[in-house]
Amino acid sequence: MAKNDMKKKYEALVASYNEYNRHYYDLDSPAVDDATYDVLVAKIREFETDHPELVKGGSALSRVGGTVSEKFSSVRHDPPMLSLSNIFDESDLDDFHQRSMKNTGTDNPQNLSYSAELKYDGLAVEAVYERGKLVLGSTRGDGESGEDITENIKMINQLPHKLSGSDIPDYISVRGEVYLTHLEFERINNEREKNEEALFANPRNAAAGSLRQLDPEIVRKRNLSIVLYGIGKIEGSAVSSQQDMMIRFAEWGLPNPPHIVFGNKDTVADFFRYWSENRYTLGFDIDGVVVKINDLAIREKAGFTSKAPKGAVAWKFPASEAITELKSVEASLGRTGVITPVANLSPINIGGVLVKRATLHNYKEIERLDVMIGDHVKVIRAGDVIPKIIESMKEKRSGTEMRIDIPDRCPSCGSVLVQEDIFLRCGNNTCEGKQYEQLLYFVSKDGMDIEYFGPELIRRLYDAKKISSPSDIFAIRKTDLLELDRMGDILADKIIASIDARRKIELFRLIRSLGIRNVGDHVAKILSRNLMSYDKICMASVDEMKSIHEIGPGVADSVRKYFDDQVNTVMIDQMVRNGVEILPDESGKDTAGKFSGMTFVFTGSLSRFTREEGESIVEDLGGRASSSVSKKTSYVVAGENAGSKLDKAQSLGITVLSEDEFADMVEM
């Protein structure tokens, strides 16, 4: 990569890092989950190590938190409130242990004792006591300076205004985390929903937003919690270790961590494993375990980086899975009539998102997992994919669990459900529930991607009988919108403009938005690029579609059945009459291109281009882009965190390309 390109890539990574920090610390509204943020940090750190000449004025990662809001006075931290470096598995813990021994000059591993405590997912704060009296409270801010929130922090019931006990220091700054329990989070959001206010995204977001209120009375009503686990500065008393600190905090009436252990590396690992499986029992969010050298003098000897102490780390939980309790199961109706069992869960934080619901896919899956109401279940969440239950922890059963009932009628229209293979389906084409779900999908990002349309607006328009099918959306007038409650002139204009922006629509986008069974974005693009016009897709036979690479009999049958239903074709004709122009796909296929006869698969996180852009490049040059690896695959282009597709390619001996190598092939 040319030096100028490296500089641009580095600056783009840093720009994303700064923007994510701004959302998390300043706006109290995380733009990405912790796992995505951690991957970005790792990329920047690797870049700075490999290309030190691009790092001017210190690492981009030296920034600790956010900025100080102009709403509050600035408070200088003495010493600075540093962040923590992250570790992710037991090999990382071993590395930390070895570094700690080296940094502290410890020869015997058994002589190095640690503390391990829960890593609360809240807002870092500092409270200052002079002669036992609370005189100052502040946020961490950028680590050097924070916001003066003294009056707000005094409203937290657990935090004493005056220290008790003996040997009270003349001056002490204590540090910890303000957080919100799940119960309080639910109560606050329920109130905000009633008042038609924007809902908080998660408990951390709610806690941070509460502490930044200008009215302390609002803070008092929100029942924030606080835990203290560190000292910034102390005068007139002494603390020798983390264990000693916790004892002294309890004597002085300061809320210290209720869950903490002291011991060797193995003790720390056992503590982590226990809370990784049992965090759902806490009633508040944690995202890992904090590991510290117990002896404060030895910890100090370990030293510091510009951002973090070397004698402490945050061991992060895997962002993708958690264990929680299955409270109930309800039948959810989809746009194609399929009934999906949806689990209501005891809320659990997975990857920075408070998960309360998860899919069980179908009722055969419930039988396979042998899952019951009241079970402890393992839930996974990857990216934007809907969380799903993958395992029932049968060994935790108490005998009070209940079997899950299988419905026999549609929850919307009451029609008798039909068993089709592994699915239960409502076959009533006039079912209002199905119509509503079809509308939701049509306007979604996976469909036509019409801005400003969401579940609430669709529901209001549907209930007001302004729309009942996708074609009706393109007949909406401003006067229709203004008849709705809480609809103003400006918003109505924006909604109309967003509809007009989709009146000229690419063929593949229309096909994917129709909600045809087995047809998503990838299949829609294949059909579009091979058949090239709406009329040809509409008239194509099953055999004609099956002759297209990657179009199997299931997809071909679904497409043919959709267009054989006159209700669907009449709806699309009406859409055209309402002003929609379907643009044909004129890209065709360059059969003489340099990639002719080759099949490419893209996997992992790509940074130079998106997966869709890579697939378009391949197809423009005469090749095929596939979503799965097989013996017929020519090349696999692998980005960061490539998974099973990369493993399969290597097992089959298929050539694996980096993004740069793929770019070189394109430019040759």
pLDDT digit string (tens) for 166-221?
Answer: 999 999 999 999 999 988 988 988 888 887 777 777 788 888 888 888 788 888 88
Per-residue pLDDT band at 24 (split at 50, 70, 90): low
At 249 the pLDDT is 96
Q: Tell whether the torsion through CA atoms of 350, 353, 354 and 360 is positive or negative.
A: negative
Domain contains 589: no
Same domain, 406 and 458: no
Residue with tokens 């924070």: 146
62 pLDDT higher than 70: no
At 381 the pLDDT is 74
The tally of domains found in the chain comes to 6
CA 622 – CA 311 distance, rounded (Å): 56
Domain contains 78: no
Q: How far is CA 70 from CA 146, 214, 390, 396, in A?
A: 11, 12, 47, 51
Query: Which residue range is the domain that position 453 belongs to?
Result: 432-502
Residue 223 near residue 178 (C-beta atoms within 8 A): no
Which of these three, 583, 608, 630, is where a domain ends?
583
At 413 the pLDDT is 94
% of the chain residues with pLDDT over 70: 91
- What pTM, to 2 d.p., does this model score? 0.48
Residue 630 near residue 600 (C-beta atoms within 8 A): no
Please, which contacts does 558-567 make with residues 24 or more away whose CB atoms are closer than 8 Å? 558/516, 558/517, 558/518, 558/519, 559/516, 559/519, 559/527, 562/514, 562/516, 562/517, 563/537, 563/538, 563/539, 565/429, 567/429
The larger pLDDT score, comparing residue 630 to residue 342, is at: 342
Which of these three, 392, 425, 458, is where a domain ends?
425
Using alpha carbons, select from 20, 27, 138 the residue that is nearest to residue 75.
Answer: 138
**Which residues does 266 contact at the CB level (< 8 Å), separation at least 6?**
none
**CATH number of the domain residue 179 falls in:** 3.30.470.30
Mean pLDDT confidence for 535-545 = 92
222 pLDDT higher than 70: yes
Distance of CA 623 to the CA centre of its chain: 34
Using alpha carbons, select from 286, 284, 309, 308 the residue that is nearest to residue 296.
Answer: 309
6 pLDDT higher than 90: no
At 585 the pLDDT is 78
Domain contains 594: no
Identify whether 119 is a catalytic site residue: yes
pLDDT in tens, 507-519: 999 999 998 888 8
At 560 the pLDDT is 94
Domain contains 591: no
Same domain, 142 and 192: yes
Distance of CA 16 to the CA centre of its chain: 16
384 pLDDT higher than 50: no
Residue with tokens 């390309």: 657
Mean pLDDT confidence for 135-150 = 90
**Average pLDDT value for the chain:** 85
Mean pLDDT confidence for 559-569 = 92
Residue with tokens 């404060």: 296
At 354 the pLDDT is 78
Per-residue pLDDT band at 388 (split at 50, 70, 90): confident
Per-residue pLDDT band at 66 (split at 50, 70, 90): very low
Residue 482 near residue 493 (C-beta atoms within 8 A): no
Choose, from 43, 119, 265, 525, the residue flagged as catalytic: 119
Amino acid at 211: L
Q: Which of 164-173, 353-362, 555-564, 570-579 has the lowest mean pLDDT?
A: 353-362
Same domain, 616 and 576: no
